[in-house]
Amino acid sequence: MPKYKKIQIVLAGIFAIIFLRFYYLQIYQHSKYEAKAGNNSIRKISLHAPRGIIYDRNGIPIVDNRQIYDLAVIPFDVTNQFDYQMVSKRTGVSSSELQEKIAKGKKSFHRFRPVPIKRHINFETRSHLEENKLSLPGTIFSEFPARTYPDKAKLTHVLGYLRVVSDMTASKPNQELDYKLGDVFGFSGIERMYESILRGRDGTEFRLVDIYGIDHGVYKDNPGIQPVPGKAVNLSIDSKLQALIEELFIGKKGAAICMMPKTGDVLAFVSAPDYDLNSFAGPVPLELWEGWNSDTEKPLINRGIQGLYPPGSTFKLIGAALANEEGKVDQNWTVNCNGVYHLGDRDFHCWNIAGHGTVNMERAILQSCNIYFYHLIQKLSFKNWKAMAEKFGFGATTGIDLFGEKRGLVPGKTYMNNKYGRYGWATGNLLTFIIGQGDILVTPLQVTQMMSIIATRGNTKTPHLLLDNPSENITVSLKSKTWDFLQQATWNVVNHENGTGKAAKVMGCEVHGKTGTAQNPHGENHSWFAGYIVKDNVPILSLAVLVEHGGKGSVEAALISHKIFKYAQKNISL
Amino acid sequence: MLRKTFLYNYYLNKIFRAPDKIVIRWGMLVPVLILMGIGFITLKYTSLNSSFFTSTFTKQIVWFAIGSIVFILAQWIRIQYFQEYAYHFYGFLIILIGITYFMPVIGGSHRWLIIGNVSFQPSEIGKLLLVFVIARVLADQKGNMNEIKLLLLILVMALIPALMIFKQPDFGTAIVYGFIAIPMLYWSGIRSFYLFSVIAPFVSIISAFNIYFFSLWMGILVLVIYFNQPKITIGVSQFIINIGCGIISPFIWYNFLYSHQKERILTLLNPTRDPHGTGYQVIQSIIAIGSGGLWGKGVGEGTQTQLRYLPVRDTDFIVSVIGEEMGLLGITIILVVFFTLLYWIIVYAGIISNKFSSLTLIGFASILFIHLAVNMGMTVGLLPVTGLPAPFLSYGGSFLLSCMLIVALSTNIINHHI
């Protein structure tokens, strides 16, 4: 073989090796390097979908969105002119920490990637920093959605608040919503309940970025996904009524719930004390939350559905309903109240120590006479009484669209046997039950529901907060004369000159109600008022007001109810 | 008058002559034009941001125009002039390289001769001069010199300028100087076994850092020695020398080198060691090439290139740009076209009986080959980053001129003899 052929063959061999190396990289490992090239230059930008706005029943926004910002720095772009002092002053991040972060970033392979400096800065801080952009090379801001509460009505416990997904496994409330670290999610209240409506879907955008971090526009080959904004939620809440009640509860503890008996719409829902949703931007800072959590006033508890109280005299309606339904007693059956009742070796008192004299059932409710009911319960069966209480929704959750609702407790035989032993309890316990004391525990919402049932003669709906969301029917079938009696008796409480609920009376409207005083071993008694208002022969609003340590129900709670009824008379119609 | 001066001037007559005939050697010219075309397209899109008059694209076109004139003028050169004065040129080259040491440092090394506004890199044109002097020495041999002595003489002649250039420092060009001699020696008829013996110790030094590679290499060494059947003493001593090199180099490495020196050499051998330094460039280059795929991302569409993740994309890493934007297709065209060019030069070298001319062609082919091989090897991480540009592709005026001069003189030689 001639020499030149040999050289050509060697040459071809070397060229083939080079070719094979290129082939290996460009064909065999193509996808790997394609991904790497993409990682280099393509930045996936998350486009935040704005969260849905929450309106009240009249279209007034209660929860809106606002932007807060995250400050970050691209280490590569930071020069000697960078004013560490200014950033430190505006954000509170110490200047030495800043310098350390940036110096570390500059050495890193990812020196073109933003390093987060401070999260959740507000618009003013951003503006200040933005004005001095020239002495702050490399700073960038990313927008971050937060909530704002523009209305006077706070509705704290109903609305709830947001948290940031910080640990994917622990705080993922809703699997199918595709959370990423750093996303916000509804942690409580309506924000949590209707997360899937409010959240929307974040979009993505792919942008080309050169080695200096300069943006070169949208990446053509992948258009990304447009964000889908969260849908609005309309609450059944009347924000004006809500604000009114919140104002009445300033300085007080307790709860007040108003609803429309016919539809189940919750018109107002107050739990006091509350906490300030506006006191933090974005997610709740841990310190703040811990503060609320350790507060002895327990602002985090939603008293409307989580506060458990003895219902007091409001519960006499259950006994009265049972007595009427079973026809065990009639209006002519009377009891002489002299202020005290002896059973065995125990004395049971009426709240009126002087006694009410001769009372029939109507008067007994009107004046809330305990002695009458001590006699009455002995004519009724404990089992049936419990069943009647359960018919009116006690001892079970109402099913309102909020998390954490408590069932309360209507004690029955089994419960008593378990608690006191088969022979450890007696009729004496029953005497306390029928006047709503002792082991019975109810939530204000349950009491509201009871009033709705009475107002609608057993045809109400599950209370709910989402407007135009037909909820389940609640049907309680009792005899017509039982309903007549209950409605008449509650009317008397408010309108009769001796009625305990006189304070709640509204001129020109038909107001029904029942007062209650829940005995509280820890201090002043809790004050109850439960009732409803009828306008043009239609019950338009039922309510329960509980003022902790409010004393007699005839005073504090009834006065608040009076103001609510007055509002309803003017502003609410079906 | 001019014609008279030209015809009868003694010195001009030594340098120039009328060309015997003008034949366009398409087999060599077309590859050059294709390569230039690919280079122009690539430069056009890497220099989009600079203004027209200062862009590398425009400048390269100007250099190409000058190169074309040089190409034509070179057809009038009397090639024997370089044979006659080869030693003078060689001496002159050594002196010029020597002078560069006294010149100011530009970009970390002194490779330039600076006279007023003109700067000039003697090692650039020196490649051609080295080819001439080696061709002259080998052509002068009429079998009256011991083969080994001749081999050593040529190696020394190549290594003197190579080491001087290495000291400038210009590692890449030094490699070119060291390499040129080997194909020429082979062409002149030196026994392959001797060439092998010269190259073997270098392989031993490098392979010694990997025990498997070293064992394999020692196996090959033994086989080659066995089949060439040298005298027993020579065979054994060769084996010992190679083993010795293999053992000594790690010893020196671990005991006599400072850590920063080691670091520098290691990065040379394995760029992924330091992703921020030289290695960073190679990583980005490999990503660019790999992401190009079969068809490439399209001219001007390479993200690695256009978004500047790829460094020195106009010169050292222009092949990476081509790999990214034109894909394996573009690379294949380059390889095929370049092979065609070298193929024809070698074919003509085989036909031409004049020893000097034939050797010169082989030397020229070696220059072009080593540049392309080292450059492409570097972009895919096969060889360390040495800063050797790719012939006809990379931006750079003086390098383009010497490449065109190489093809021009080759055409001249071929036309003269055939």
Among A158, A245, A311, A241, which residue's Cα sits nearest to residue A540? Answer: A241
Low-confidence ranges of chain B (pLDDT < 70): 1-8, 107-108, 209, 257-279
A154 vs A184, higher pLDDT: A154
What does pTM read for this prediction? 0.64
pLDDT reported for residue B276: 52
Pair type for strands A54-55 and A233-234: parallel
**How many A-B residue pairs are in contact by the CB < 8 A criterion?**
115
- pLDDT value at residue B271: 46
Round to whole Å and give the CA distance between A455 and A475: 12
Query: Region A222-241: what's the mean pLDDT?
Result: 88
Q: What is the pLDDT of residues A70-121, one digit of tens each?
A: 888 888 778 778 888 888 888 888 888 888 888 888 777 667 677 888 877 8
Q: Is A208 on the interface with B (CB under 8 A)?
A: yes
In three-state secondary structure terms, A342 is: strand
Here the tokens at position B351 are 């036909």
Q: What is the CA radius of gyration of chain B?
A: 23
Give A78 to chain B, closest Cα distance, Å: 18
A562 Cα distance to chain centroid: 26
Give the per-residue pLDDT at B411: 94
How many whole angstroms separate alpha carbon B401 and alpha carbon A83? 51
Whether A45-77+89-234 shares its CATH topology with A239-571 is answered no
Q: Does A123 touch chain B (CB under 8 A)?
A: no
Number of residues written out for chain B: 418
Q: How far is CA B106 from CA A350, B100, B169, B314, B385, in A?
A: 108, 11, 11, 19, 19
Query: What pLDDT, on the 0 to 100 scale, is given for residue B408?
Result: 95
Contact between residue B370 and residue B175 where contact means Cβ atoms under 8 Å apart: yes
Whole-number pLDDT of residue B61: 93
Distances (CA, A) of A365 to A88, A349, A501, B66: 68, 16, 11, 116
Choosing among 3.40.710.10, 1.10.1040.10, 3.40.50.300, 3.40.470.10, the CATH entry for A239-571 is 3.40.710.10
Question: What is the Cα–Cα distance from B55 to B67, expressed in whole angstroms?
Answer: 18
The residue count for chain A: 574
pLDDT of residue A270: 94
Residue-range domain boundaries for chain A: 45-77+89-234, 239-571
A217-226, A289-298, B220-229, B256-265: least confidently modelled range: B256-265
Chain B: nearest CA to A117, how far in angstroms? 25
| Crossing angle (nearest 10°) for helices B397-417 and B122-140 | 30
The verdict on A217 touching B (C-beta cutoff 8 Å) is: no
What are the pLDDT digits (tens) for A396-442? 999 999 999 999 999 988 888 888 888 877 777 888 888 888 889 99
Residue B397 to residue B400: CA distance in whole angstroms? 5
Report ipTM for this prediction.
0.90
pLDDT value at residue B21: 78
The radius of gyration of chain A from alpha carbons, rounded to an integer in Å, stands at 34
Q: Which residues of A touch B290 (CB under 8 A)?
A: 25-26, 29-30, 32-34, 36-37
Q: Tell me: the pLDDT tens digits for A335-377? A: 888 888 888 788 888 888 888 888 888 888 888 888 999 888 8
> Which residue among A11, A23, A40 sits closest to B287, beta carbon to beta carbon?
A40
Q: Which residue has the higher pLDDT, B276 or A33?
A: A33
Q: What is the per-residue DSSP string for B41-78?
A: HHHHHHTTTS-GGGSHHHHHHHHHHHHHHHHHHGGGB-
Q: What angle do CA B166, B171, B175 make, to 5 degrees?
A: 90
CB A213 within 8 A of CB A112: yes
Cβ atoms of B393 and B35 within 8 Å: the answer is yes
Taking alpha carbons only, the member of A434, A439, A437 closest to residue A335 is A434
The minimum CA-CA distance between A99 and chain B, rounded to whole Å, is 21
Write a three-state SS string for A98-109.
HHHHHHHHHHCC
Beta strands in A393-525 (DSSP E): 459-461, 473-475, 510-518
**pLDDT tier at A177 (50, 70, 90 boundaries)?**
low
pLDDT band at A213 (very low <50, low <70, confident <90, very high): low
Task: Give per-residue burial for B270-291: e unless 16+ CB within 10 Å, then b.
Answer: ebeeeeeebbbbbbbbbbbbbb
Q: Output the DSSP codes for B228-248.
A: H---HHHHHHHHHHHHHHHHH
Residue A163 is inside which H or E element, if any? strand A162-164
Q: Which residues of B touch A26 (CB under 8 A)?
A: 289-290, 292-294, 323, 327-328, 331
Question: Would you state the pLDDT for residue B173?
Answer: 87
Please give the distance of CA A410 from its chain centroid, rounded to a whole number.
25
Q: Does residue A66 carry a pLDDT above 70?
A: yes
Highest mean pLDDT among A158-172, A206-220, B78-92, B267-281: B78-92
* Coil, helix or strand at residue B334: helix
**Residue B348: what pLDDT?**
94
Cβ atoms of A346 and A318 closer than 8 Å: no
- Domain A45-77+89-234: give its CATH architecture: Alpha-Beta Complex (3.90)
- Residue in chain A lying closest to B303 (CA): A41
Least-confidence region, from A11-15, A134-138, A175-179, A434-438: A175-179
Which positions in chain A touch B335 (Cβ < 8 Å)?
15, 18-19
pLDDT digits (tens, 9 = 90+) for A455-495: 999 999 999 999 987 788 999 999 999 999 999 999 999 99
pLDDT of residue B264: 59
